[in-house]
Structure formats: C-alpha cells, structure tokens
Structure 1
C-alpha cells in the first residue's frame, strides 16, 4: 500500500524517470539473457552508436556525458569484443568507434527485446492507450 501511495504522490518527472530506469534495466536483462553480457552503463554507447560507426565525441554528446567518461565505457566494450577503434576515413586524426560482428548481434538482441517491451506496453495500456502515450511523448520531445 505504501508503494501505491508514493506512486500517487510522485510528480510526472519522477514517474518518467522511473519508467526510463525500469525499461532500461529490462532491455539490459533481455540482452544479457540473449548471451551478451554488459553493464547498464553500456547502454549509453549502444543507444548512440551508428551501425557504420561513430566518433567518441559524438557518442559522448548524444549521451550527455564527458568524452572521458564515454572513453571508459568504450574501452570496456572493446575488451568485451563489442566495438573496436578504427581510423576515421574522413579525418586521419580521429578514430571511429565501430561495432564488431558481436556488437551488431548485441544491438539486434536489444532491438528484439525492445519489440517485446513494446508488445508488453500494448498489453498493459491497450492499443489505443499505447498510441496515445506515443503521441504525447512525441509532442513532449518535440518541444525539447
């Protein structure tokens, strides 16, 4: 009962944060369950990286973190075999962070997990409710 009372009193921002955290952990659980071990913090890379590769500075900017912090995450993912550093063909001084075959498979597992979570949202909210949620979130994000 106390948990329900706290949820009623929570403001919208707190509820959005809780939903984000919950769904983020479910994605990591799904990916780890598919055989791709990682930490929740690695999502900052996987959520930003382009399939053709990304510069570290772009990954950091997209994740709203310092290049040094992003560099630490990338180093961990290099050790796990998910990404590698390659020279950027457009700038000899820069490096691209590129997904390996294992990294691409990990992203695929994440996308499969997300599709399952989308289905769960539809089950919980109904088709109309899920569509309304998407519409409202789209409007909110467009104002950002």
Structure 2
C-alpha cells in the first residue's frame, strides 16, 4: 500500500522522520562548513562517545548498530583524525576510542550548529511554540 506525498506528510511518523533527516543533514552541513569533513553516519560515534573515551562495543550498543558497523565508522573517523584507539587502563586487552583535539573541535562545531538550529526553531515557532515542542517531545520520549 503506497501513499501519495500529501498523505505521507500528514502521517506523524513520516513527519518526525523527515524532520530527523533534515536536521541531521543540517548539522553535518554546518560541521563540514566549519572545516570538519564527515558523513551523516559519523554522528553515531559523536553522539555516543564519552569524554573519557568509550569501548567500541558500548558505542555500537548506544547507536543500536553492530560492532562491525561501528568499527568501520571508527576506522573512518580515525583516518580523518577525529578519534584514536588507546589501551583501556582498566583492561589492557581492550581499547578505548577517544577524541583527538581535532575531534573535540569537531564536536564544538556540532554544538554551535545545533545551537543555531535551536535558534531557528524558536524563530519559526516562537518561544512558547518551541517550549511546547520540547515539552511534547519529552513526553513522547518518556512514554517509551
């Protein structure tokens, strides 16, 4: 059963999906524009990595992808100079994925971009509309 684009736009799930995709691309565009090349899929690492570093398995679990897929993303980010693998001090057999200085700068560019997007949302919806959107999304997310 296929729906025409007008019907799809009225579907809440489709609208949330489109908003998620659009915002994800805007964040990547902002970060790339700030001089930090990357792909949208790299956000799976940046969104999960802890300041002290994370094991690959924890990154994969948090992003809900396989360790193999996460390993490929980490390899790509390592090649770009954003992350590095280091021995885990609590278990020398394990590796921690940690941000490099360039990776920290990339995250700062992402945060700056997100703040700009938040300002745009507030301009479009107004302060009360923005607050209501946040409240409703929080309620939706808390409901599981």
Give distance in 2, aligned partners of 1:8 and 1:17. Answer: 11
Give distance in 2, aligned partners of 1:51 and 1:105. Answer: 13
Give distance in 2, aligned partners of 1:9 and 1:119. Answer: 24
Given that 2:51 and 2:99 are in contact with CA atoms closer than 8 Å, whether structure 1 keeps it comes out as yes
Moved more, 88-97 or 99-108: 88-97
Total equivalences in the alignment: 140
1:7/1:99 CA distance change after superposition, 3 Å: farther
Q: Is 1:106 matched up with 2:106?
A: yes
Provide TM-score, normalisation by structure 1: 0.93
Given that 2:28 and 2:38 are in contact with CA atoms closer than 8 Å, whether structure 1 keeps it comes out as yes
Tell me which residue corresponds to 1:24: 24
Q: Is 1:76 matched up with 2:57?
A: no
Give distance in 1, aligned partners of 2:48 and 2:9. Answer: 33
CA-based RMSD of the aligned residues comes to 1.2
Moved more, 46-55 or 129-138: 46-55
Q: Residues 1-144 of structure 1 correspond to what in structure 2 (within 5 A)? A: 6=6, 9-144=9-144
1:79/1:9 CA distance change after superposition, 3 Å: closer
Q: Residue 94 of structure 2: SS of its match in structure 1?
A: strand
Structure 1 runs (4+) deviating above 4 angstroms are none
Provide TM-score, normalisation by structure 2: 0.93
